[in-house]
Amino acid sequence: MIDQPYAYQRRELTEPDWRRFPGWADVTVAQWESAQWQRAHCVKNLRQLRQVAGPGLSEAFCADLERDQRERATMSMLVPPQMVNTMVPTAAPGEPGFTDAFYADPVRRYMIPVFSDRRADWPSHPYAARDSLHEAEMWAVEGLTHRYPTKVLAELLPTCPQYCGHCTRMDLVGNPTPTIGKHKFGQGRDDRLAAMIAYLKATPGVRDVVVSGGDVANLPWPRLEAFVTDLLDVENIRDIRLATKALMGMPQHWLGDEVRAGMERLGARARERGVSIAIHTHVNAAQSVTPLVARAAQAMLDTGIRDVRNQGVLLRGVNDSAEALLDLSFALLDEAKIMPYYLYMCDMIPGSEHWRLSLAEAQHLQHAIMGYLPGFATPRIVCDVPYVGKRWVHQVSRYDTDRGISYWTKNYRTGIEAGDELALSREYPYYDPIYLLPSHGQRWWRDRDRDRAPELTLVP
């Protein structure tokens, strides 16, 4: 055997035993596998986390979490039992060292962020912003972002079964937090969805719709099925992707009878029409891929849809090593038949600096994961550049590593640039975390930003 930087090894999936948590000691398999039970027992606040974990979680951790919720969090807390159960999967809260392991756990780090996780020097980049990708600016009709020439993003609803601390759509998604108010859709849901369908019928150049939110798992099934059926009747639509982190966060939802039967109807209709439907999920750590997740993915593939793909997010402390990314990709591909597809660099939202990697780090990781997976399943690490869109990390046009500013170009106009002569010749900047820069680069930012407060703006 040749010694390689990454040693591939097939690993069987395991469902951690939820009964190790004092609050779930008596929960049966039937309860655990019920989506209704999972939704009713999501952890929504510190009190509920304490009830689940019991006294094994230290007071210091609880205070750290409470402070983050009060002063920094951009997302409210909502963690399904399925996700809590994948944190520290082999130790119980009463065991020595549990709190330390909980602090260090990759899933905990992005689902239950605490104050001490964040950077004290630069909690936010000076150019961090709500809606950092300017999606709302590019709404063709409310909730329908038309950024790329042939594809659109439909934000059907502003909620999910789980809230991720780093959510890009923190502007819109979830409940308000003490520091962040949320944007509210102006129109009622049915009117919005009808306007989206009307726009797509009137815009034959669009062939691809990402049906998202939020998470489509939170839309009542009949409403989601009706919308996708309407999409299937739009002559120009050839690809439909349903975005749902819940395939991993609450696989019980996708295993439910109503949802499976409905997906079968949609799959059959799509085949008749020659349209591809795929599910796009969001898994960031190998330990999140459990047998239940694999069952849900298989159930979806059995409905005849084209694929189940993963779009993870590259996050420091969660998956910022070649080993973590390859372990994740192999768990998805080998054991759950989920296609590793994209890894997004974490977007520049307020409070995200401790999660973000520099472009150079992302380029290094892309290089380090090449050659192990089949080419079709090697995830591309992408930077979602504001006003540009996704770019592979090696597509950068110029890179000032002293100031941590990368410059990008593009080859199409977004929906708001119809008359912009310079859109295709301009360079668009993206920014590395400042604390990673050499000292003179950090000084440059400090001098420039001395009088400017980080953009953790309060919005009513």
Question: In whole angstroms, how close is the CB of 220 to ligand SF4 at the nearest point?
Answer: 17
List 109, 118, 282, 309, residue binding ligand SF4 (CB under 6 A): 282
Find how far residue 134's CA is from the centre of its chain. Answer: 17
Given candidates 43, 57, 154, 164, which one binds ligand SF4 under the rule CB under 6 A? Answer: 164
Question: Between residues 135 and 335, which has the closer beta carbon with respect to ligand SF4?
Answer: 135
Contacting range for ligand SF4; rule: CB under 6 A; set: 155-163, 271-279, 335-343, 422-430: 155-163
Chain positions 32 to 51 lying near ligand SF4, rule: CB under 6 A, are none
Whether the CB-CB separation of 45 and 79 falls below 8 Å is answered with no
Question: Which of these, 347, 256, 353, lies nearest to 295 by C-alpha position?
Answer: 256
Choice between 34 and 76, CB closer to ligand SF4: 76
Closer Cβ to ligand SF4, 98 or 344, answer by number:
344
Instruction: Give the nearest distance from C-beta 215 to ligand SF4 in angstroms.
Output: 5
245 binds ligand SF4 (CB under 6 A): yes
Q: Name the maximum alpha-carbon separation found in the chain.
A: 65
Q: How far is the CB of 138 from ligand SF4 (least distance, A)?
A: 17
Tokens 């780093």 belong to residue? 166
Give the residue with the Cβ less far from ligand SF4, 167 or 240. Answer: 167
Q: How far apart are CA 410 and CA 408, in angstroms?
A: 7
Residue 386 is a binding residue for ligand SF4 (CB under 6 A) = no
118 vs 169 by CB, closer to ligand SF4:
169
Binding mask of the shown chain, residues 329 to 358, with x at each position contacting ligand SF4 by CB under 6 A: ------------------------------
CB nearer to ligand SF4: pick between 275 and 308 = 308
CB 164 → ligand SF4: shortest distance, Å?
3
Query: Is residue 135 close enough to count as binding ligand SF4 by CB under 6 A?
Result: no
Whole-number minimum distance, CB 214 to ligand SF4, in Å?
A: 6
Task: Report the b/e string of 430-444 with b at 16+ CB within 10 A.
Answer: bbbbbbbbeeebbeb
Q: Tokens representing 12?
A: 């069987």
CA atoms within a 13 Å half-sphere pointing along the CA-CB vector of 414? 23
Q: Which is nearer to ligand SF4, 68 or 334 (CB)?
A: 68
Q: Which stretch binds ligand SF4 (CB under 6 A): 97-105, 161-169, 371-379, 413-421?
A: 161-169
Q: CB 314 → ligand SF4: shortest distance, Å?
A: 13
Comparing CB distances to ligand SF4, the nearer of 311 and 363 is 311
Are 225 and 170 in contact by the 8 Å Cβ rule? The answer is no
Phi, psi dihedrals of residue 144, rounded to the nearest 5°? -115, 100
For position 163 contacting ligand SF4 by CB under 6 A, the verdict is yes
Contact 286, 328 (CB under 8 A): yes
Residue nearer to ligand SF4 on the CB measure, 313 or 437: 313
Per CB under 6 A, does 160 bind ligand SF4?
Answer: yes
* Shortest Å, Cβ 30 to ligand SF4: 26
Encode 82-134 in three state secondary structure.
HHHCCCCCCCCCCCCCHHHHHHHCHHHHHHCCCHHHCCCCCCCCCCCCCCCCC
Q: CB under 6 A: which stretch of 45-53, 165-173, 347-355, 423-431 binds ligand SF4?
A: 165-173
Whole-angstrom distance, CA of residue 366 vs CA of residue 399? 17
State yes or no: residue 253 binds ligand SF4 (CB under 6 A): no
The least distance separating ligand SF4 from the CB of residue 427, rounded to whole angstroms, comes to 28
| 215 part of the interface to ligand SF4, by CB under 6 A | yes
Q: Which stretch binds ligand SF4 (CB under 6 A): 80-88, 99-107, 164-172, 264-272?
A: 164-172
Query: What is the size of the binding site for ligand SF4 (CB under 6 A)?
Result: 11
Cβ 68 to ligand SF4 shortest distance, Å = 16
Site mask, ligand SF4, residues 166-185, x = CB under 6 A?
A: -x-x---x------------
**For every residue of 405-432, which 3-state class applies, written as one string?**
EEEECCCCCCCCCCCCCCCCCCCEEEEC
Site mask, ligand SF4, residues 195-214, x = CB under 6 A? -------------------x
User: Which positions touch ligand SF4 (CB under 6 A)?
Assistant: 160, 162-164, 167, 169, 173, 214-215, 245, 282
